[in-house]
Chains A and B, each alone.
Chain A
Amino acid sequence: MTFNLALTGSDLLLLLPEIFLTIWLCVVLSVDFSMRKVSNETLAHLSIGGLLITTFILFWFDQADITGALFKNMYVLDHLAIYFKIMILIATAMVILISIDYVKSFRFFKGEYYFMVVMSAIGMMFMASANDLLSVFVTLEFSTFGFYVLVAYLRDDVRSSEAGLKFFILGVFAAGLLAYGISLVYGETGTLIFPEMASAQGSYGLAIGFILIFAALGFKIGAVPFHSWIPDTYQGAPTPVTAFLSIAPKAAAIAMLIRMFYVGLASFKPMWVLLFVCAAIISMTYGNVVAIAQKNIKRLLAYSGIAQIGTVMVGLAAGTKMGSDAMLFYLLTYLFANIGAFAVIIAVSSAIKSDEIEDYSGLNRRSPFLAAALFLFLLSLAGVPPLAGFIGKLYLFVAAIEEELYTLLIVGLINIVISMYYYLIVVKKMYISEPIDSSPVPVSAPIKAVIYFCVAGTLFLGIYPKAFIDWAAAATLMFSNIAKTTAAAPALTSLVGG
């Protein structure tokens, strides 16, 4: 295969968001190096400015319907990619905002922090566009590279170093699995590009290859049984990085999974539906049950994140357009609730220097604003109306029942009740227990802005989700005619649905 790298102007236009952000990032980095007096805030605001401009470019692409494929279909910019890119950019901007105060506690490399964050974001933007297995590999490693550094950023903290090491070793292991899986798939099909794989014949090599690739992506999204790095890494990493890690790479990896399975493996749908049904059931149940025993709020959110990703996989298990719409929408609700929750945690831990749930006692008396915000975010994660998480979960379950996946539906509904318990434990500490130390908890302006934005998002998506549901549905129009499971393999469906 030969590459024609003579790019035209219109080709470059498709890469504009990434190119622009890279150039902007270099400018920010040179500002940091060349001007000695430049403050931490200025760098953060500059980075956010770049991210926002990129977001607007992407909105313009979405509205003007500027889409297409590059490099022999290795890179696509369609509405699905635009949706995920915008989500990643918004998440990154919020993460930078909640980092501003946190970064001050670093002893060195304050400027590089923002560089690393935005660099990972660019990697994840490429992930959302990856349309063949080689670009999957390259973009995945590209984005994870920044995280290896970010997780271990608190150099003098043992936990952070431990978190970094764990994340690195398992990340590299996952990369190995991914490379091996890709080689198997290439050997069986003779192609790396997803749409061309659709006509491939089934074989054991192909199945093993894809299971390995799924395992590698499972590491990224933290699905059981590939979750073991999640709790320690979440606890040890700097909290803004945890917030970033808890949503952006997951969203990007879900984009990859959707593309890989919906486009590349559409003809093997009954097989991967079974895979995702099992993965979703195990992740939801394991995450929720283990979360009950947690005493540290970051670990609690880590396990709840495992459960949430299990819930997202309900959409993949449904394997229909409705399933992908629901996943897209759910990730958006998850973004607001999760980043909001981490913003509250950062505000609290900067005041009380602790992440233990016990120390959240009486938060309502110390800061009614933070307590109310965390209350909303946790309930949105639990899926209580009128908050966004409820609509997201309902949408996923409706998608599942349309495919008659009853087992999955029952397990998912039971898990809502289980998750309610441990989220309410935190609510109980905040609202019912009395504070040990009743000094007020201050909130800095950028964190306040993020919390307000996330509260608005959580409520708006819950009360009037129509606009966003329509947007998600428009982003996945290309899956309109994906095969119904029931038609493809009745025997397997009855096994799954029984």
Chain B
Amino acid sequence: MGEYSLLIILFAPFLGAIGLIFVPRKEELLTRMVAAVSAGICLIASFYIFFAYDTNLAGYQFVQRFPWSEQLGIAFYVGVDGIGGPLVFASAILLFAGVFVSWNIKDRTKEFYIFLLILAAATIGVFMSLDMFFLYFFYEMSVLPMYVLLGMWGSHTKGYLSMTDPEGLKLRDSVGFIFNFGSNSKEYAAMKLVLFLSAGAVIALMGILLIYHFSGLHTFDIVALKEQTGIQENSPLAILIWLLVFIGFASIAPIWPLHSWSPVGHAAAPAATSMLHAGVLMKLGHFSIIRVAYEILPETTREWIWIAAVLCVFSIIYGGLVSYFAKDTKYIIGYSSSSHMGYIFLGMAALDYISLTGAVIYMFAHALATSMLFAMAGWVYDQTHSRDIPSLGGLMQKMPFISGAFIVGCMASIGMPGTVNFIAEIMIIVGSWDKYPFQVVVAVLGIVLTLAYMFKMMRGLFYGELSPEHAHARDATTFVDRMPLILLIFCSVSLGLFPGHFYEVVRSTVEPMLDRINHVAPVVSQVTQSTQGLLP
């Protein structure tokens, strides 16, 4: 049973989506139940792998391998290490919470849950793929449902460039949208997201195909390529591949200056989609960089990862400043995510085991914190039909539970001790200090900035005068409404207070990986190797 748990995690949402096709359109409750049950199965199984991961054994566990095409050297090869495991767990938590957060969606419920389950399953698929083909397969598969989810159930952004388009709803002609920066419709956001991510994906695919060709193994198998890459490290070819993989996957992460699709997309998306999007979809970028670049080209990574360290400064500051001045709740949270992704890049770039462990924990922590905030921003929007902070205020009187949870979400996002974010942030900062002191100073300033805009948003939403048009706003009172928030807060706090196992899981994988990256081959052996190559 245990060894099949990854297949259960992956196929429960897929089968749920297939099952939903056959559910009659009128049976909305049954639709939601099917989605909830498949997400629940997925959550239980991922809970199991998270805790059953053997930290002494380390490496890839729960491995399953089925040949898929000999001609192309592809196998359906899944397994998780200490990085994939927690992220699978995070995805399952967010899917389960997302199903309940969207409980009140009335329009085309069936399609919504089908696309949501496919999105989550594809994301989970990336985190467990040990074959580059399937990594790309699931990666690209996770992008397309976003288009439909944003377009069909999303909302137009009012705060975004509102000065150029005061209507806020004016839809532009779809042709030529690329030059139409003033547009703020959900269609625009959805199209921008898909094109950006697909462009990133094909850049990464180029790198993957180059690895496939030049490794000489004719396989997409990451484990085999890790053993024997066949590509001379730090040669121009290796650098080219590394850059393609890095840029391709960093566009989904998203690193500055490739981030512009992300806040727009977050703002337009329905709550559950923003949760999955900000929570786990963006981590596909970091994860894939680690899986492909760190594992297959460790020495090139060591020489070139400074790019991430440079760009993360812009991410942190730019995202933070935009959040501070923005007036749309989802837009603030979206840009704050984009800013917080900079911390992960900093943690990854330092190549120190404390900081990389911190980065991985941060991926998980950020998933919980941000999705909490998105869920509640979605709730506020559902109740007031506004995301514009100046028009809101005083909601504390009407929705005490949501306000309380929102404050916890903000605290988690800031990195308050007691939440898992705190542990992650402190590890990134401590671990990166030796190598990148300047970036660490920026990161600390970024935390201050986060504090500022989170408080500003909290004040704007929940304190002050209650606008009379929002007098009918309702708090989350039922079990279904409260459960996802409680689940997210519970996970964040319990792992924040007892991070022992989580830390061990990540460390068991990060340590050997960094040993490979930081291991400098003795000069002598390199010389002998090259002379051996020259002699017949």
Contact = CB atoms under 8 A, between A and B. Distances in A.
Q: Are these two chains actual partners, yes or no? A: yes
B68 A466 contact: yes
Given A368-B25, A469-B69, 17 more contacts: A365-B108, A384-B141, A401-B213, A404-B213, A413-B202, A413-B206, A416-B198, A417-B195, A417-B198, A424-B194, A428-B187, A432-B152, A432-B186, A432-B187, A469-B71, A469-B72, A473-B71
A194 interface: no
A397 B209 CA distance: 8
Contact of A413 (B133, B194, B205): B205
B174 A428 contact: yes
A398 B212 contact: yes
Mostly, the A contact residues are helix
Interface in A393-422: 394-395, 397-398, 401-402, 404, 409-410, 413-414, 416-417, 420-421
A62 interface: no
Nearest to A387: B141
A465 B69 contact: yes
Interface string B347-381: 00000000000000000000000000000000000
A300 interface: no
A348 to B, nearest CB: 19
A390 B137 CA distance: 9
A222 B464 CA distance: 67
Tell me the dominant secondary structure on chain B's binding face.
Answer: helix
Contact of B144 (A292, A293, A379): A379
Nearest to A386: B141
Interface residues of A, number: 39
A385 B141 contact: yes
Contacts of B198: 416-417, 420
Contacts of B187: 428, 432
Contacts of A465: 69
Interface size class on chain B is 35 or more
A303 interface: no
CB-based closest 6 A-B pairs? A432-B151, A413-B202, A385-B137, A385-B141, A401-B213, A401-B209
B288 to A, nearest CB: 15
A293 B175 contact: yes
Interface of B: 25, 67-72, 108, 111, 133, 136-138, 140-141, 144, 147-148, 151-152, 174-175, 186-187, 190-191, 194-195, 198-199, 202-203, 205-206, 209-210, 212-213
Contact of B199 (A385, A417, A464, A466): A417
A386 B151 contact: no
Question: For A384, A390, A470, A473, which residue has the most chain B Cβ atoms within 10 angstroms?
Answer: A384
Contacts, number: 85
Interface of A: 292-293, 322, 325, 364-365, 368, 379, 384-386, 390, 394-395, 397-398, 401-402, 404, 409-410, 413-414, 416-417, 420-421, 424-425, 427-428, 431-432, 464-466, 469-470, 473
A424 B191 contact: yes
B213 A421 contact: no
A416 B213 CA distance: 21
Given A364-B108, A384-B141, A417-B199, A431 B148 contact: yes
Contacts of B140: 384-385, 390
Given A364-B108, A425-B174, A431-B151, A470 B71 contact: yes
B141 A292 contact: no
A364 B111 contact: yes
Contacts of A416: 198, 202
Contacts of B72: 394-395, 398, 469
Contacts of B190: 428, 432
13 contacts: A365-B108, A385-B136, A386-B137, A414-B202, A417-B195, A420-B194, A424-B147, A428-B187, A428-B190, A431-B152, A432-B151, A466-B70, A470-B71
A7 to B, nearest CB: 38
